[in-house]
Amino acid sequence: MSKSDRLHQRLTIIYNQKYEDADCNRIANRLKKHKDELFTFVNHPEVSADNNYAERQIRPTVIMRKNSYCNRSQQGADTQAILMSIFRSLHLRKVDPISTLTNSLSEWIKTGTIVLLSSLSLQMSNQMSK
């Protein structure tokens, strides 16, 4: 019997029990609902067993929100979420976010056309290599 099969067998015992405590039943139901996803990392070593990477990715945004005394409106929260997503994506792609956004906004002002960030960053890298 594989490690994954043994884990699922033990999990089945846990979520099939009836508990006196309502919170225990709630957790057991949640385990049953997500049983097929809980041990993905066992059969796929490229999948992390935790979400530390995701937590580290959102940490700068959380700190910025805390330091700026939170968002003052839903529109402000939505705007921050969009901008942080763009900045983080560009950072992960090793593309300068300020020049990319500046060039993108300049192009939009000149032409009224939205330039995809991926094509803009490709244009910028071609210009830099010349």
Statement to judge: residues 38 and 12 lie in one domain: yes
Total domains in the fold of the chain: 3
Same domain, 102 and 130: yes
Tell me: do 64 and 86 sit in the same domain: yes
pTM beyond cutoff 0.75: no
61/35 same-domain check: no
Give the range of the structural domain holding residue 112, as residue numbers without chain letter. Answer: 95-130
- Residue 16 above 90 pLDDT? yes
**What integer pLDDT is reported at residue 11 of this predicted model?**
93
Q: What are phi and psi of 59, to 5 degrees?
A: -55, -45
∠ Cα 73 76 80 (to 5°)? 145
Looking at the predicted structure, is the pLDDT value of residue 118 above 60? no
CA angle 64, 69, 71 (to 5 degrees): 80
Looking at the fold, whether 86 and 54 belong to one and the same domain comes out as yes
Tell me: do 32 and 63 sit in the same domain: no
CA distances from 26 to 8, 9, 37 (A): 19, 19, 18
* Mean pLDDT computed over 52-81: 79
CA–CA separation, 58 vs 56, rounded Å?
6
